[in-house]
Structure 1
Amino acid sequence: MSLEDRVNALVAPKGALEILSQDEITRLSVGSGSLHDLFRRCALAILNCGSDSDDAAAVMEEFKNFEITIVQQERGVKLQLDNAPSSAFVDGKMISSVREMLFSVLRDIIFTFQEYNLERGLSSASSEKITNVVFELLRNANVFRRIRTPDMVVCWGGHSIARHEYDYTKKVGHELGLRELNICTGCGPGAMKGPMKGAAIAHAKQRITNGVYLGLTEPGIIAAESPNPIVNQLVIMPDIEKRLEAFVRTGHGIVVFPGGAGTAEEILYLLGILMHPENADIPFPLVFTGPKESAAYFEQIHAFLGDVLGEEAQAKYQIVIDDETEVARIMKEGMEEVRQYRKQHHDAFYYNWMLHIPEEFQHPFEPTHEKVRELNLHYDQEKHLLAADLRRAFSTIVAGNVKAQGVQYIKENGPFEIHGDKKLLKKLDALLEAFVKQQRMKLPGSAYVPCYKVITD
């Protein structure tokens, strides 16, 4: 993109956070440190929506002259943008969805820092405290709705998928939308965009004017998976663990499309939770689906889960190939089970309080060589604990693949080494090798250099 394609603009709020304190403005001012850097990085990701790049460092380098400044005025605040991507504007005016999401970023970063100290985190917090933090972040973003029946379907899958897989995600989203179900995704491209696009068309057919397209992301991954413009509610969670908890607390059922390491991480996170004894009776409809060309992908995932977690894990989901209508029917029927269960146990429709999430799934995991070597990837432990460390292993690969901090760490220190039970690791290595061959680790056409070594010798 040439310099002629950059735009300078003064943008007024739309949708969130029109007033800031002097202290908040100071903390987010240019040169103030890490909080401004975080705000700038997330804002650039919003403005760069529609980009094909999944290289966060390359995006930051391309727009190294981009700057964002908070301008305090008598009637509130505005944002001064310098050298912003022109794709966020039409005839010099910012696209409405981009403007909404831009101020959502400002809202979430301010609230998270003020309430929970984003830089310090919640490393010593209890499980209950973290669950309440996730609730408060979502409530501050006005995510919760008064609903008569559960209707939120979370869709997971890769940001870099083949065209036929993307088209299938739209078909599934369309069928879900026709059944008056709403969509939540990780808010990026690929399998995160397709279901929203399909549902939006279906909602228009059903004359639904208040359809929800909820996007949940986090600062470490937003630049590599910029939000798609269909998202009408965007929330920036502090880290991947709170993002994952937000998915399962707000969602009433989950559909999984083909993906790579990030999708495997999400699957292991959810299965690890559902396999915990305290969650044995909680209904949570879960479907793995894709077009017929993706059948082998789910066969590999299914076999891996059976090998490492057993039939108990496999019993938690259904696999439906090339049948978008059946996927939607399963989700719609599952919503009724969820409704009955929550009514019987007096649990909220808008937030799954009863679901028990162990601390192993809640505290942030920032991969280093030492931490990755210490992962307990052995069979001689409870299955939900094995799932937790397998989830961390895939999170490590995601960090090394697309997160700017993780990519830089690999450049400086070399690939992560994954150790553990040799039989288990051979299964893991085979799955990862299949992902590489299917170009599920990076955008198609990009040469993939592994950020990991699975030590199987």
Structure 2
Amino acid sequence: MAPRHVINASVSPKGSLETLSQREVQQLSAAGSGSVYTLFRQCALAILNTSGHSDNAKTILELYKDFEVRIHQQDRGVRLELLNAPADAFVDGEMIASTREMLFSALRDIVYTESERGSPHIDLSNSQGITDYVFHLLRNARTLRPGVEPKMVVCWGGHSISAEEYRYSKKVGHELGLRKLDICTGCGPGVMKGPMKGATIAHAKQRINGSRYLGLTEPGIIAAETPNPIVNELVILPDIEKRLEAFVRVGHGIIIFPGGPGTAEEFLYLLGILMHPDNRELPFPVILTGPKSAAPYLQQLHAFVGATLGEAAQSHYQIIIDDPAEVARHMAQGLIMVKRFRRERNDAFHFNWLLRIEEGFQRPFEPSHANMASLQLKRELPPHALAANLRRAFSGIVAGNVKDKGIRLIEQHGPYEIHGDTAIMQPLDRLLQAFVNQHRMKLPGGTAYVPSYRVVT
């Protein structure tokens, strides 16, 4: 097991969550409900584990199994007592400012999510109610900024990427920043960090104050994708489906870099939504990009979409290879169309209310062996419904790769089985094998990848 350095510390919030009720403190204590405390402990550990290089949540939790968080409510506000915390989160005994901000963002989001559970004004029984809930989660996190013109660019891509792909993502982020655009990612390393890092330099050149580096994550993935320190707004959504909806509701355009199954999951989710007939006229710029060395990967992903979802799905995005400036110019032009469309329809700039997301895309998918085996991956399905099920298949693979619960299920019962038509399974198997061959399933330098799935025709 890897060496570790720990520290005991006491820390108070700064501008994120100053007070908790006695009931909330009880819920978050180990002696309270238990599950809420476990959730916060897991998220807190991921945030404090700033130098972590493992993408395996189970490994991180076992390495710091004696880590504890004790929540104290004082007259002056909340105080967290941390025992056996990763020492890299501190400098001379004082917590790094960005880490402290994100720690209390996690506390804020978990407290709010738990407080709203069962609330009469939260209705998760229908699609509109789920969208309203996502809106409330983002508003509580102070993420929604009315009056700000469309300039939030979502960047998706892998945490397990090559050095060349990482440098390229920084160059794209730099070009976006020069055009005064903000960045939103999944908040972790790799492509989730590169565009933010590039944009920080560009924003400094443009003398921009108040730049936004928004990170959206969820409890099941945060330990595998520890938030990078550039993130200045962190939001933890309850599950992957609400995280994905948050991306497309607050983002005005999306750039997709090389990645693995998690990136494929996001891409299929997006295509499934954009292919819905109700979204036909809605402008939403989407670009697939990477350096020259990633061209075969991008073409393979493009071919997979064509083979499974058809040419109509391919029409919803543009591929730009090895040209960061052109990527940024194309995105900036697309955002002008987004702004015009929303003005004409009187839609908000800060939250894409007009985007139609069917309930099937919003309901949490539990990647059990039975659910994975029963996924309908058949040609006769409408393309947007097939995209939704393919997204679920990739979600299960991600769970089996990096999420604590998924890893334990695979250890107990073996790999998931994915069934479907040969015309769907063969391109799926080719794409997944390419991910394995290109080391996109795990961080490079680790143990050999053991598949968490088996494709069955």
Fold shared, TM-score > 0.5 on shorter chain = yes
Decide whether the 8 Å contact of 1:43 with 1:105 is kept in 2: yes
Show the 5 A alignment for 1:81-100. Answer: 81-100=82-101
**Is there any run of 5+ residues in structure 1 with no aligned partner, and where?**
none
Partners of 1:30 and 1:382 in 2: CA distance: 47
Partner of residue 324, structure 1: 324
Between 1:268-277 and 1:61-70, the stretch displaced more is: 61-70
Aligned partners of 2:14, 2:169: CA distance in 1, in Å?
30
Distance (whole Å) between structure 1 residues aligned to residue 235 and residue 155 of structure 2: 16
Q: Which amino acid aligns with 2:221?
A: I
Residue in 2 aligned with 1:445?
A: 445
Question: The residue matched to 2:219 in structure 1 has which SS?
Answer: coil
For residues 196 and 250 of structure 2, the distance between their equivalents in structure 1, rounded to whole angstroms, comes to: 16
SS at match of 2:319: strand
- d(CA) in 1 for partners of 2:136 and 2:149? 22
Corresponding residue for 1:9?
Answer: 9
- 2:49 corresponds to which residue? 48
Quote the offset at 1:421 in angstroms.
0.4
Distance 1:15 1:233 in 2: 12
Counterpart in 2 of 1:389? 389
The one-letter code matched in structure 2 to 1:61 is E
Partner of 1:115: 116
Residues 1:35 and 2:36 are matched in the alignment:
yes
Once residues 26 and 329 of structure 2 are traced to their aligned partners in structure 1, the CA distance between those partners, rounded to angstroms, is: 51
CA contact (8 A) 2:274 2:316 kept: yes
Alignment match, 2:236: 236
Supply the AA of the counterpart residue of 1:336.
Answer: I
SS at match of 1:377: coil
Query: Distance between the aligned counterparts of 2:242 and 2:277, measured in 1?
Result: 22
Amino acid at match of 1:17: L
Q: Is the 8 A contact 1:320 1:327 kept in 2?
A: yes
What CA distance in whole angstroms lies between the structure 1 residues aligned with 2:148 and 2:445?
A: 46
Deviation per residue, 1:32-76 (Å, 9 max, x gap): 311100000000000012311101111011111111110121111
| C-alpha contact (below 8 Å) 1:187/1:227 kept by paired residues | yes
SS of the equivalent of 1:9 reads strand
CA RMSD of aligned residues (A): 1.2
Letter in 2 for 1:379: R
- Equivalent residues in 2 for 1:250-265, closer than 5 Å: 250-265=250-265
**Matched residue, 2:336:** 336
Residue in 2 that maps onto 1:161 = 161
Amino acid at match of 2:188: G
Partner of residue 199, structure 2:
199
Deviation per residue, 1:175-234 (Å, 9 max, x gap):
000000000000000000000000011111111110000000000000000100000000
Counterpart CA distance in 1 for 2:124 and 2:183 is 33
Q: How does 1:215-234 map to 2 (within 5 A)?
A: 215-234=215-234
- Deviation, 1:148, is 4.3
Distance 2:340 2:308 in 1: 33
Confirm or deny: 8 A CA contact 1:50 1:228 kept in the other structure: no
Tell me, in whole angstroms, the C-alpha distance in 2 between the residues paired with 1:17 and 1:239. Answer: 22
- Conservation of the 8 A alpha-carbon contact between 2:123 and 2:129: no
Which SS does the other structure have where 1:221 is aligned?
A: helix
Residue 246 of structure 1: aligned partner: 246
Q: TM-score, normalised by structure 2?
A: 0.97
CA contact (8 A) 1:46 1:98 kept: yes
Of all paired residues, the percent bearing the same amino acid is 62
**CA positional deviation for 1:244:** 0.1
Three-state SS of the structure 2 residue aligned to 1:15 is coil
Aligned equivalents of 1:49 and 1:358: distance in 2? 37
One-letter amino acid of the structure 2 residue matched with residue 50 of structure 1 = S
State how far apart, in whole Å, the 2-side matches of 1:302 and 1:27 are.
Answer: 47
**Conserved 8 A contact 2:124-2:130:** no
Q: Which moved more, 1:51-60 or 1:249-258?
A: 51-60
The runs of 5 or more residues in structure 2 that have no matched partner are none
1:397 positional shift = 0.2
1:21 corresponding residue in structure 2: 21
Over 3 Å counting, the alpha-carbon distance change for 1:440 and 1:117 in structure 2 is: farther
Q: More displaced, 367-376 or 221-230? A: 367-376
How many Å separate the matches in 1 of 2:139 and 2:423?
45
Code of the residue aligned with 1:162 in structure 2: it is: S
Q: Could you say which residue in structure 2 is the equivalent of 1:127?
A: 127
Q: Summarize deviations over 1:419-444 as a string: whole Å, max 9, x none.
A: 01012101100110000000000111
Inter-partner Cα distance in structure 2 for 1:146 and 1:24? 30
